[in-house]
Structure 1
């Protein structure tokens, strides 16, 4: 004779885990016609509208590909909106002082990453490699080496600014470390 097994759904505490319910989970599908992927990326149906489409990641990327934040604004309005955004985001820049705001692996800021790209270096380059790369590039386009060449002067200035950004960041790191 077969013995009847008691369900684990009785009493308190429940004898099975709370996350292991037997009910079917509701999954919202992508709003793109014919897509069967889960739609977990909300996107506005129109600007300033609370209604949302829900796309999978692939279709959300396609939807946002040509998104223009400043569409329909004249230059002055676009500049005002950009200024307002920059003002609202100033807290992130301020938090960089405390080492909270970082990008990538957390060791370099976005400005430092751009400066490293200008010098043709990887994100993990140490300061000795930065100094060496800056000297090599600066020697090629220095105004004394190429007098009267406006393009070389512009490149020299770009390399110098990139080096200065990285030098100041290194000084901040040393100051914080000591």
Structure 2
């Protein structure tokens, strides 16, 4: 009889890392014929059935694209169900203003995003690109270049304000580390 081996799974702290077992991990493959991807998205084989297909993301999207939520309902029931769905989901539509208002990763304020828009830059522009864009645009509408032009002066003020907003934001980022 073989002597049992001592494991490192006893006590606290764990003496081996999590997910570092030597056992083979079972991966369920996609049930779509010919697909070799991992089947991580379960889908029902039939309505009210516990049996599931397991698809990869691509084939799950294909499977769900043909799904008709209102299948089997007559016109009156279909309209009633759709109206109930709209009624129940209005809370989500009302709360949309709490989400991000534009592109970006959330590290920039709304004012900074507007300033970047004035300069014609993307949300992920670094300060060197900001400075370069400001200089190029300011050279064309500077009051010394276009004296007496009210539109050029207004555009220059917008560019100057945008640059100041982005410059102070950059200084805050540098200061705060």
TM-score normalised according to structure 1 size: 0.46
Larger Rg: 2
